Amino acid sequence: MLVNNKNYRTVWMQDNFVYLINQQLLPHKFEIYKSSNHLETADAIKTMIVRGAPAIGATGAFGMAQAALEFTGKDFENFKIHLRKAEQVLKSTRPTANDLSFGIDFVMRKTLDNFDADIAKKYSVGAANEYADWNADLCKSIGEHGNKLIGENHSILTHCNAGALACVDFGTALSPIRVAHYSKKNIFVYVDETRPRNQGASLTAWELSQENINHSIIADNAAGFFMKLGKIDIVIVGADRIAMNGDVANKIGTYEKAVLAKENNIPFYVAAPLSTFDINSKTGSDIPIEERHEDEILYMHGMDESGEVKKFRISPRESSAKNPAFDVTPAKYITGIITEKGVIKPITEEIERFVKNE
């Protein structure tokens, strides 16, 4: 992704250091967080310096490589014990993130498939880089498939941040938008601000600004208004988990936009890698919905005039809030799912065919 006209990834490794775009400070300040060891990397995941399932997965992978490099002995059994400890620390940072385990396990497997600690260390760094490259490549493929759905002069609505920042590069929902822009299509993006955590207004708008892609932030309430006016040609969102019948769990509000898109005959696409399909979830009702702390509704974060980023109360002290973090959009509202292998119809037979061929 472009930041200040330079190419960046969300996370990368150089020597013993893991570098992360500090997402806690965005969109107000662009800073690279430098982690010196796997414990600092674990902390960066925990404190949400990095967020987004694929980005967390890659960060976990790099954290494991760091842990391998930190080992100073020669004995392979001790090396294994050291790695298992690090694995536990890294995996416990965000226990529900499936991609985190996936990234860590990938590096562990390639590292332990050795018998010499010094050689294994090199393999661990190679494996972490391979994992990150693999993620960036599949996001790029999602972009190329999704780009075919975006026409000249199209306006696209997106919800939350399914961008490069949530992945290693390109993003999922934002990848087709990036590729359309790189291929010189004239496009415009309506960015749902995405309360309560405002990932749209803060992260998606920031990514689009940096790439010089025309966009406007809108209140989540205004998406239906612009749809009804005929201003939106296509909706593209990400996904946190997809059931085998095509029901999609994603950021709260996705269901609302999907119903409104259908009502206004606007195609509604979900962009996600095949790894997002959960073979254990037959339908959306099998997907647990996380309820997050009410403070995300009652307070907000923003930068005051002095340039300080602070927490502000935006509700009466006496009021409480309910804060479901995700909702499930039934497959009937979804036009298609854009994956790295192509666009899938949200029907069980087709999904099974794609997921099993993976």
Residues that are catalytic:
240
Per rule CB under 8 A, is residue 239 in the interface with a second copy? no
Write out the DSSP string of 124-159: HHHHHHHHHHHHHHHHHHHHHHHHTTPPTT-EEEE-
Alpha-carbon distance of 45 to 55, in angstroms, equals 10
What's the token pair of residue 134? 């693999």
From 32, 74, 183, 225, residue interacting with a second copy (rule: CB under 8 A): 225
- Minimum CB separation of residue 283 from a second copy in Å reads 14
Query: Could you tell me the end-to-end alpha-carbon distance of the chain, in angstroms, rounded to an integer?
Result: 27
Residue 86: Cβ within 10 Å count:
25
φ/ψ region of 238 (left if φ > 0, alpha if ψ in -120 to 50, else beta) reads: beta
- The contact mask relative to a second copy for 270-289 (x = CB under 8 A, - = no) is --------------------
218 is a contact residue toward a second copy (CB under 8 A)? yes
Which of 182/312 has CB closer to a second copy? 312
Residues 287-346 that bind a second copy (CB under 8 A): 297-305, 310-324, 327
Residues in contact with a second copy, counted by CB under 8 A, come to a total of 61
Biggest alpha carbon–alpha carbon distance for the chain: 68
Contact 204, 191 (CB under 8 A): yes
By CB under 8 A, the residues from 118 to 137 that bind a second copy are none
CB of 193 to a second copy, least distance (A): 7
Please give the Cα distance from 317 to 16 (Å, whole number). Answer: 47
One of 61, 120, 223, 248 touching a second copy (CB under 8 A): 223
User: Is the Cβ of residue 170 or residue 206 nearer to a second copy in the bound state?
Assistant: 206
Strands 215-218 and 248-251, bridge-based pairing: unpaired
- Selected from 62, 106, 226, 268, the binder of a second copy by CB under 8 A is 226
Please state the closest distance from residue 144 (CB atom) to a second copy, in A: 26
Q: Is residue 217 a contact residue for a second copy (CB under 8 A)?
A: yes
**Pattern 18-57, binding to a second copy, x per CB under 8 A?**
---------xx-----------------------------
- Select from 341, 356, 290, 296 the least CA-distant residue to 97: 290
What six digits make up the tokens of 121? 């260390």
Q: Order of strands across the sheet with 326-329?
A: 241-242, 248-251, 326-329
Q: Which of 169, 220, 233, 247 binds a second copy (CB under 8 A)?
A: 220
Contacts (CB under 8 A) with a second copy, residues 160-199: 190-191, 193-196, 198
Which residues contribute to the site for a second copy (CB under 8 A)? 27-28, 190-191, 193-196, 198, 201-202, 205-206, 208-209, 215-226, 228, 251-253, 255-256, 259-260, 263, 297-305, 310-324, 327
